[in-house]
Structure formats: structure tokens, C-alpha cells
Structure 1
């Protein structure tokens, strides 16, 4: 007989119940698009005082029900869907992952990994891998999150807890990383341009937040570990039965001789591929590095414009395909090339529901962006915070809160910063707060609210992953799982930033807390 539920479990259960009574996510995105259309028609005649921080033009809501906009909607519908960024990333990456899964490489690798790792340490190990996956752009969403479920299930734990822990690391700790990634120079470039409004000579190092974000990784791992093991998984065990098809899931059985030999040569194959890739990157005038002569060597590799960084998804495809094929032939799980294509086909079949959701999500996000409603909300919120004229510490906390709010409407990290930075970076510079500190506060707010917004492009994909193990999973299931992470990370990470600031520990390279 299940024990008495705590207040927190009852509250999260209520959130899940209400959330799952919402329409199917695909239909929900369609209904939200209709709401945007109607709201834009109502607000379009109104003249707003808000000014776009990047262009200096007055923000005008665009009526999406006008003849011209409806014609554009029809004309662009296919391109909006095809160009929906997560769609191609997910499908291409999963082609390689599908082969590795079909041949048994992933199954064998996880069984060997579980043989080396204590079940008690699976959670922090998974969150650490999720955090490091930020180096490979959005790879964590399509690789680490589903593998988190597989690893937990194989270890006798709840697979949805594995999804929650991995999602918390990949998205909730989006800015936290020991290793620099493409997001660092991208945000620093926006910060620099915003600050040059006051100081034309301002330079923001791309690694200006590196030390703080590396230290934040420890916070994210610790918070995620405790919440997963003490709050999230116990509730899932009580309330969320695993009722999906588990026939192809890995077990803890030892590897056979054929499987062990296949795994060995598969690892050799992927190691050789990585060595060749490293050599290609290190070669003089490598086409995989950013050709900008003004960049340092490490910056030419990790810059947003480096071909290597823009090739992460194809590399994921290749680096799963190679060991998958090698394992299949050596272990005898495949006979010919038809089995390889079969693995890719099965992977695409499992994505049918996601493709449908992606279609409606892409149309809604495009309409919301074209209406200017998101920009209007962000700018008005920023102006409200500015008008409060709070002390420096409270202003930093306010920026984190504002960013979390804006993140519910504008999913892209760079798009939000393009809206917020031109307002707050110069404003806080006048208060003596450095652009680097303002950027750090933004990154905390952006990360902690990612896991709650259905407008995150990968949110529907994570719902699909949940449905594999719990047929009744929906938006409510995922939000109720992730709410404890979002709240705890928002509070603890904010406090950590304030303590870090008080102690004067360097934020990163060439970064300070004060301006000038």
C-alpha cells in the first residue's frame, strides 16, 4: 500500500493532472497560434511607446489576420516547417543513433558502463555528461536525454527520472560547463556591441564568464543529484508506472564473447575517427577552424563561425554510425547494408509523432515572432525593471527574474539577449556594474527557466521521449517533473552568483565586476 503523499507530491500531482488535461501538444500549438492571431489583430491598431533596442524603431504589433499576413502564412508554411531548426538536427542525429541502437552497440556499451559505475553515482554522472554535451551545441537533447532514460531503466531505476536528470543538466544548466562552447562567443559578442553604445572601445572576452560557469557546473550537478534521488524519482515510482514497450531495452546481463569483441572494435573505430578529426582540426590552415586571423587558436576552434562548431550534428551522425556498423558486423548482429538502412528507418518511424508536433510548433513560433508580441513583452518588462531603480544586487536578481519571464515567450538564448542586452548592459554600466556581470546574470535566468517553457524547441521532443516509457505522458507530466529543478536552480544559482560576486572570485578571462 503506497505511503501518505507529502504536500509537494500532491502539488506536483495536481500540476501534472491539470497539464495533461490540456489538448494534445500538437493541437495546443495550433490553438496558441490562433490566440496569437486574434491578439495581434486586437493590439495592432494601438500605438505603443516601447522602442526596439536593436533598431531604435517603435514596436508595432503586426496583425496576423490581415490579408497580407495570411497570404504570407500560406506561402511560407512549408519553408517555416522545413527550416524549423530542431527538426533537421533531431532527424539527422537520430539516423546515426538509430543504427548504433539497432545493431546493439548502445545496448552493449551501456551494459559495460553500468558494470563499472555504481548505481548510486548514476545521477551525478548523467548530469555531468549532460552539462559537457553543451560543447556539442544541441547534441544533449537528441542523444543524452534519451540515453539517460535507457541507463536508468537498465540499472533498475525509473526511466523518467533519467530523462528528468538529463534534461536538468542539458537545458536547466544550459550555461554551466567546464568546457567553452559556441554560446560563449555568441553572447559575448552581443554584450560587447550593447556596451559600445556607452564605450566604443569596450571589449568583452568570449570567455568572460568561463570561471563562474565552470563553478556553476558543480552547483547544477549537486542540486540535480539531490532532487532526482530524493524528490523526483520517489514521486515517479509512486505515481507513474512504466507501461511502455520495454522489449528492446538493455539488461544488466554480462556481455557475451561476441558482444565484447564487437564493443572493443567499435570503440577502436570511434577512437580512430576522433584522432583523425583532431588531426584535421590541428592542421595548419584547417578548413574546420574559423579563418578570422584575429582569433586566438582556441577561439578559432570554438567560435560561433568555426565550421567545426557548425558541423556538430553531422559529426554526431558519423560518430554513432561508425561504431554501430563495426559492432554489428563483428558481433554478428547485422548481415549486410540492408540491416543498416533498417536501423535508420526504425529511428525515423519513432519520430512520426514529433514531426507532427514540430509542424504546428514551427507555425506558432513563426507567427508569434512575426506579430512582435514577444519583443513588446520583453521590452516593457525591461523598462518596468529599470523604473524600479533598485540597488545593484536587487537589480541583478531582477534581471535574472525578467530573463526567466521572457524565456517563456522567446526561446532562443541569443534572441533574448539581443532584446535585453541593449537596455540593461548600458544601464548597469552607468551604475558601475560591468557588462560581464550583467551577462552572467542573464545566463543564470536563461538556463533555469528553459525546462519549463513549451516554447523551447526541444520541449515536444522530450515529451515524446517520456511517452516511450509512460503512455499517458504529456506536457503536464514533464512540467511537474521539471518544476522542482527550475525553482531550486533559480534560487540556489542566484544566491551562488551573489556570493561569488561578494567574494570577488574572477568571473572569467579579462572580466571584472565593476565598470569602468
Structure 2
């Protein structure tokens, strides 16, 4: 038995090694996006004259590939190039959040908090804690990408473990478990906003609750945590220790020993003040007339100002304790010291800014050309033509969503294209909109962590390069493939089990249309 297990592990290690070597032979992510832009341009010109029969659900007309090499298209591209880059949503999220995180980190507040956490968390629970925190971070939309993932590396390194294993565990929780959360999040009403209109194509009376998948996503957080825990400790970290040692010139991990009197004082004063401010903020949300509510009085809808203020709130709630801790602990002597640590945090983001430039242009070209929509619609129509039944159909939806996710990173953009096809199609087969949405969420989450086209993927590569400079796209993909495969298979089984056992998906949700 031991011999067979050893052989299996050796085979897996060799396979992942090949993936890493092949992937790392790919160009730098920025160049990869640049080359992809030219490929999209050429394909758009070659396919623009082809007449497709697939209907674009956005306008009800046969879908057409738009030629991006016409004079009009090229001049429009050049005229809007700066807006395309500055309007790239992840760029603002990353830079604004990192300004606040940079102050909290540079002041020593985060390191002190990590010391406290490590002293209270048993070493064997470190991995599940990091993964679970990553899952919960979805309540703050994209905060996990710029906060939890780098902290995963810092925490593991400080504990004497491989930092890339901590980054991988956090990435698995934040992105691989994107649709798992014990708390409601903005993604729930966002997806429901596409599901309900799609369902009303068939039945105008259909109403979909924003928390229609809540019970399933809450239970899924346990599954994702357990799967990530096992893979990180038993497969990922041993392989990283063997094949990807931390660079010798990497700065030593922060001392996890005793605190100085100033550190203790600064930490507690900063934490208490921040908690008081947080409580006051929560109290400001309670009145029905709170300016943080949307027009209907909701706090959780995507249009609610509080949901749209998540990133600025992250900035403020890291800036505040960072400044207080820095002053009390003696790190900050003047306001210039605060600005200096902000500047230092931005210097570390220079590489990401370059990649974001080319990534934003590629995503614009891919979307404008309609190539992404064509790929999604053709796949969905093929699945419809198979006329499969029950769990097999749902499994097909999950795997198709997982495949499309490799090419179209935005969860809302994909669901905007797929919901008008998947939801009515499955309603005609007797399956509820809530079940279809849950299936989409499983597929969408599972392959987030292995596609370089996901907007935050290059950022995770940058976090890894802090510890292992040779980290490339291939390295990260090979590290994350086991998580992706395991989540895709086990999460699919988990959803089917929910269905078979009749466990409610969420509020006012059913599995069968009309049932």
C-alpha cells in the first residue's frame, strides 16, 4: 500500500512538474496579454464575415464577431486606451486597498496582529484558519485578493512554513471558494440580478430571492476548507519544499517572539479605537433612512452605497489602526513617515500596474469582438442539444461554466451571457433557476485559480515572487491545479448530494421549476 501511494505521489509530482516547466516557458504575463490582443484582433478580422446562427441573448439577433482591425475600430481603441486602462476595476481596488494595508504593514500593526494570531492558533489549525478567512473575505468583494492572499504568505513564513503554501491556501479560499461563504455577500444579489430576468423569459411571475443559494454556499465553506486543508498540508507544501525553496536573499520572517511594551500598547490602543469606530459605523447602518442603504432600504444589494464603499472602507480600517499603532509604537515620528510607507507599498505594485495595463486592453478586445460571447453560447447550445437528464445535465452545466471561466474571468460578465441561455433552457426541462445558478457558481469558482486571464492572477504571481523570484505562470498554475480539480469534482458531488437529499439550496428556493 505504501509503495503504491508513493508511486501515485511520484506520478502526480512529475505531472505537475511538467505543467510548471511548460507554463514557465510562456512569456511574461504582460507579454502574454499583449500577444493575446494581437491574436484576438486577427481572429476577429478572419471571423467577422462568418454568419453564425447562434442568437445573442443581449439583443436577440444572430451573434456576429466584430472586426477590430477596421479603421474605425482601431481609432476607437486608441481614443479610449487611457480610459480602458484607468477604468479597469481591479486596478483601483488593488491600489486603494494596498495604500491602507501598506500603512498597517509598515507601522508593524499587521505583524503584531500575526504574532497574536500565531500564539493563539494551534499550528495544526493554521491552514484551515487561513483558508476560512479567505472564504469569509468574499463579504468584502475583492478584498481577499489584496489582503488575505499576501497575508497567507506572511503568516506561513512567520510560522516557519513555506510562504507559497500559505499563498496557495489563501488563494484557494479567496478565489477557488469564491461561491462559498457562511455570510451573505454582494455577489448574491449581483448574480440574482441576472438570474431573475433570465427566468422571466419563460415565466414573468418568477421571483428569485437574492439568498436563494445561501444554505448551499454556507455549507460549501466547510467543504472548501477541508479540501484545501488536506491538499495544502499533504500535497502542495511538501512539493514546494522539495522543488521551490525560498530564495536565500529573502528578508527574514517577522520575529514571532515576545512583544515589546510599545508594540503591545500600540496594538491594543489601535485595535480598541478601530473597534469603536467600527461599532459606530455599524450603528449608522441600522436606521431605515441610513445613507448607506439603497433606494429600497437594502444594505446587501449591489447598488447599496455600503457595498460600493467596501474598498474605501478597507483603506480606512487599515489606515486608522496603522497610523495609531505607528505613533504609539514609535514607528511614525511625523506625517512624512506615513506617506513614506504608502509610497513603499506602491513601489511593490509597479509590476502589477504594468500587467494590468495589458490585461485591461486584452479583456476589452475580447469582449468587444464578441469572441468570448460566441464561445460561451456555442458551448451552451451544444449542451442543450444533448438533451441530458437530471444530475448529468447539472454536471454538464458546471463543467461548461468551469471551461468558459478559463477564457472570461468576470463572474458577472459570464453569467450575464450564460443566464439567458442556461436558465430558460433548464426551466423547460423542469429545473429551477436557483439550481441552475448554484451549478454555475460551482463551475465558476473551481477554475478561477488556474486561469491567467483572471484579473487578479498576475497579482498572485507577484506575491509569490516576493519569496521565490523564479515563480511564473506555470509555477502558480501547477500549484493550484490539485485544488481546482478536487473542488470541481467534490463540489459537483456535493451539489448533487444536496439535491438528492432534498436539502434546501437557500431562501425560497427549490430544485424543480414549479416545485
Q: TM-score range by the shorter chain?
A: over 0.9
In the alignment, what sits opposite 2:140?
136
Pick aligned residue for 1:312 from 295, 310, 313: 310
User: Residue by residue, what CA displacement relative to the aligned partner does 1:250-302 show, whole Å, maximum 9, x if unpaired?
Assistant: 12211111111111111112101211111111134000111215xxxxxx111
Q: Does 1:12 align with 2:10?
A: no
1:219 paired with 2:223, answer yes
CA offset digits 1:96-130 (Å, max 9, x no partner): 11111111111111011111111110110011100
Aligned equivalent of 1:37, options 32, 38, 41: 41
Deviation >2 Å, runs of 4+: 244-249
- Paired with 2:428 and 2:81, the residues of 1 have a C-alpha distance of 45
Mapping 1:264-413, distance limit 5 Å? 264-292=268-296, 300-413=298-411
**2:196 — aligned with what?**
192
Per-residue CA deviation, residues 298-328 of structure 1 (Å, 9 max, x unaligned), is: xx11111110000000000000000001101
1:505 matched residue in structure 2: 503
Structure-to-structure mapping, 1:6-85, within 5 angstroms? 6-85=10-89
C-alpha spacing 1:244/1:413, structure 2 compared with 1 (3 Å): farther
The aligned counterpart of 2:459 is: 461
Matched, 1:160 2:158: no
Deviations for 1:311-353, whole angstroms, at most 9, x for unmatched residues? 0000000000000011011111110100000010000000011
Take 2:206 and 2:303, find their aligned partners in 1: how far apart are those partners? Answer: 21
Alpha-carbon distance in 1 for matches of 2:277, 2:179: 28
Shift of 1:503: 0.2
Q: Partners in 1 of 2:51 and 2:86 — Cα distance?
A: 34
1:202 aligns with 2:200: no
TM-aligned CA distance change 1:266 to 1:449, over 3 Å: same
Q: Secondary structure at the match of 1:301?
A: coil
Asked if the contact 1:37–1:64 (Cα under 8 Å) also holds between the matched residues in 2, the reply is yes
Q: Deviations over 1:434-476 (max 9, x none)?
A: 1111111011000001111111110111111011111001100
Q: Over the residues paired in the alignment, what is the CA RMSD in angstroms?
A: 1.2
Does residue 113 (structure 1) correspond to residue 111 (structure 2)? The answer is: no
Q: Distance in 2 between matches of 1:354 and 1:273?
A: 32
Q: In the superposition, relative to structure 1, how do residues 160 and 349 fare at CA in structure 2: closer, same or farther (>3 Å)?
A: same
Q: What's the secondary structure of 1:469's corresponding residue?
A: coil
Q: How far apart, CA to CA, are the structure 2 residues paired with 1:428 and 1:180?
A: 26
- How far residue 244 of structure 1 moved from its aligned partner, in angstroms, is 6.6
What is the TM-score of this pair, normalised by structure 2? 0.97
Aligned-pair CA distance for 1:53: 1.4
Matched with 1:296 is: none
Local SS of the residue matching 2:182: coil
> Could you say which residue in structure 2 is the equivalent of 1:433?
431
Q: 1:144 to 1:358 in 2, by over 3 A?
A: same
Aligned length: 508
Deviation of 1:10 (Å): 1.0
Structure-2 residue corresponding to 1:297: none
Distance 1:244 1:465, change over 3 A: farther
C-alpha distance in structure 2 between counterparts of 1:196 and 1:38, whole Å: 38
SS at match of 1:302: coil
Shift in Å, 1:248: 6.2
Matches of 2:357 and 2:226, distance apart in 1: 37
Q: 2: distance between equivalents of 1:399 and 1:224?
A: 24
Task: Give, in angstroms, the shift of residue 358 of structure 1.
Answer: 0.5
Contact preservation (8 Å) 1:144, 1:166? yes
Q: Is contact 1:436-1:512 (8 Å) kept?
A: yes
Residue 3 of structure 2 is matched in structure 1 by: none
- Aligned with 1:498: secondary structure? helix
How far apart are the structure 1 equivalents of 2:320 and 2:253? 22
1:245 Cα offset (Å): 4.9
Task: List runs of 5+ in structure 1 lacking aligned partners.
Answer: 294-299
CA distance in structure 2 between the aligned counterparts of 1:186 and 1:265, rounded to whole angstroms:
38
Cα distance change on mapping 1:248 and 1:313 into 2, 3 Å: farther
Does 2:235 match 1:231?
yes
TM-score by length of 1: 0.97
8 Å Cα contact 1:244/1:470 also seen in 2: no
SS in 2 for 1:314: helix
